[in-house]
Amino acid sequence: MIRERAYPVDPWHIRETRLDLDLLAQSESVFALSNGHIGIRGNLDEGEPHGLPGTYLNSFFELRPLPYAEAGYGFPESGQTMVNVTNAKLMRLLVDDEPFDVRYGDLRSHERTLDLRAGTLERVVEWVSPSGQGIRVRTVRMVSFTQRAVVAFLYEVEPLNDTARLILQSELVANEQLPISSKDPRVAAVLDHPLQAEEMLEQRTGGLLVHRTKASDLRMAAAMEHLVEAPGKHAVTTEGHPDWLRTTVACKLEPGQKLRVVKLAAYGWSSNRSLPAVRDQVGAALASARLDGWEGLLEAQREYLDEFWDHSDVKVEGDPEVQQAVRFGLFHTLQAGARAEQRPIGSKGLSGPGYDGHTFWDSETFVLPALTYTQPSAAADVLRWRHSTLDLAKERAQTLGLQGAAFPWRTIRGQECSAYWPAGTAGFHIGADIADAVRRYVSATGDTDFERDFGLELLVETARLWRSLGHHDRHGRFHIDGVTGPDEYTAVVDDNVYTNLMAQQNLYAAADAAKRHPDLARKFGVDDEELASWRDAAAAVHIPYDRELGVHQQSEGFTRLQEWDFENTPPEAYPLLLNYPYFDLYRKQVVKQADLVMAMYIRGDAFTPEEKARNFAYYDARTVRDSSLSACIQAVLAAETGHTELAHDYLGEAALMDLHDLHQNARDGVHVASLAGSWIALVAGLGGMRDYNGELSFAPRLPSRIDGLEFSLLWRGLRLRVEVNRNEVTYSLRNGGGSARLDLLHHGKQVTVTQVKPVVLPIPPAPPTGPAPTQPAGRAPVRRATNL
């Protein structure tokens, strides 16, 4: 855990003012750059020391066996692990024959800055070699948003006090040696030499490597070229090996002179194209990058991000630390999905190997809401990818004896990769989460073409799964048994409320969409009888409720389970899954992450305000937040039930998850869902934004230490700006012309917003609330009111 503020508070930068080798792996994740297609960790330019090297291509993976002590029918046989591909970051420097290495000599200053508006990582170093030669090194790197296949680096070095002979070795390296994985099951499996060399081409200023994976049979190519500026005499040569290329620049500089090298790199991969085709693809990308040059790439990057921040920025007045963190979160959310282009968004994006690079339900449930209302095209691309895996999901359903589509709990390509049934395949709610993302996207954009081409079939096949997975009892109630909800500490249960309510919404949404597109629905085999069965099941879904306690049961019988002994659970025992047997967790009232509370956010239309207040108080006292997915959702319900100070606390935890390494695993990559969740905590929590049944509504209220909140949403082609202070809120349209209008609810009151004149409305007095909910002993979030 980063116990001190490693990064000074700054609204638009993440700045590291000194190098702490003990936190190197964490900073490599924080400083990772990506565009959704290519990801590079924030490793030092010279490659050593490192915490965890990493260069990734979205969906480029290798197969590995999934070992079982006892195999069972329906268990997946192969896992998929994201491959650390050819590394183009390496640029080693020798100063008068001595390697530039921060572990030796005198490191006089070292600063790295992630610029959230420029989309670059800059490093500035002053170092004195063991023999006394001082140098200044400045490097800048970017992964281009506008040229999807391109990564670019600037390397500048100058001697400070004497003439120096400088040798810069810039490399492409495949099959890097990786550190040994820990025993934590969340950490990615380490693959030994996953890439097989197919071709190596070298030229004077660069070259190209082509490799192929052994089992998954995927081909990739990486190429590099160098633009060198040096005063006087200098030499540039390149040499190669099947697994590496090295371009060497040699020169001799006087103090005040500077060597400047621009390194352009390009990546591409395919499961189908030939070696020449992939080779030519990266060659073309390199030519395009060379055409724009370093300055052109920088300018295009800045213009892309200027547009992004113009309609996606969230402004927080009064808590500068959260302001910095939420922008950091939005930046990493953008990086994860901007140019994924019909590829998945992994739980770590492309910032590290955690969870083997897999995508889970959190993509649709946490990341896509932020993208849907800010970058809807990126959200649509992820859903198109899900649709492309529909045949695999239907095959999986057949294997399980079910109808429709059973989407995998964790995957890269679309096949199920979870080797643990209770916290894997049993999490059937992922199908309803995908359906919810489809519903949300269509509602927010009005994109009927997407609904016809992709959305309807996803809704139909997931609805079929629920109809075959559930059953009507003799009283007509519809039950879904033997499933696991979001809370993985309560597994394989009956009638999980979150699952049931999400399935209900899925069934209704499928029936409604089929009615809107009857011809296409008939093409998918939907008839009137099937439509009626979906509506009947949805109307009869059983929702467990404990009348004695006056709360909903997270699942049938949950409130009669034995209570967990929080008072005698030591702080070092968290996360519980690493220190207690699942058997003990499954039979106690201990909640890993928001589950019923999650249901009250996404399906808030199914609960009364009084039920939400009682439920939130009951489950907050039993939720340990061993998942990074929990705090942001607890922030939303804390705000809705009137506990805005607690909402602020949970918001801080979600936003600072990686900058403070709160779960002590940031080394394996950032928590993209929690970072996107900080947007949810602000917009849906303090802003009170909801989208139920196609109607946009807001109920903003601020905690005492936040003075103002501003955010924008895209809604059916209109850009809505919401500005909140303590007493009032202003709604305004920023596009659409004089005839544009947007109808919304403000604290339950119908309001029409036009571009002609903003609407300014008072925030009504908050209704009375009971005592603030309590948390398990030692698990309360850090109080923001005392931490500013």
- Measured over the CA atoms of residue 30, residue 31, residue 36 and residue 39, the dihedral's sign is negative
Report yes or no: 141 and 155 within 8 Å, Cβ to Cβ: no
Residue 149 CA to residue 243 CA, distance in Å, equals 20
| Phi then psi dihedrals of residue 78, to 5 deg | -125, 140
Q: How many CB atoms lie within 10 A of CB 9?
A: 15
Kindly name the residue from 28, 122, 171, 488 that is annotated as catalytic. 488
Report yes or no: 31 and 352 within 8 Å, Cβ to Cβ: no
Pick the closest to residue 217 from 267, 274, 282, 149 (CA basis).
Answer: 274
Element (H, E) at 563: strand 562-563
Residue 230 CA to residue 234 CA, distance in Å, equals 7
Pick the closest to residue 485 from 384, 619, 665, 642 (CA basis).
Answer: 619
Residue 143 CA to residue 284 CA, distance in Å, equals 17
Alpha helices in 410-554 (DSSP H): 429-445, 448-450, 456-469, 497-516, 518-523, 528-539
Report yes or no: 248 and 169 within 8 Å, Cβ to Cβ: yes
Class of residue 295 by CB neighbours under 10 A (exposed 0-12, middle 13-18, buried 19+) = exposed
Structure tokens that stand for 459 in this block: 């809704």
Report yes or no: 695 and 302 within 8 Å, Cβ to Cβ: no
| Phi then psi dihedrals of residue 425, to 5 deg | -55, -35
Structure tokens that stand for 741 in this block: 């209008």
Known catalytic membership, residue 488: yes
3-state class of 225 per DSSP?
Answer: strand
The full DSSP string for 574-591 is -SGGGTS-HHHHHTEE-B
Bond into 570 cis (ω within 30): no
Bond into 575 cis (ω within 30): yes
Distances (CA, A) of 140 to 146, 270, 393, 607: 17, 29, 43, 51
Which residues are the active-site residues?
Answer: 488
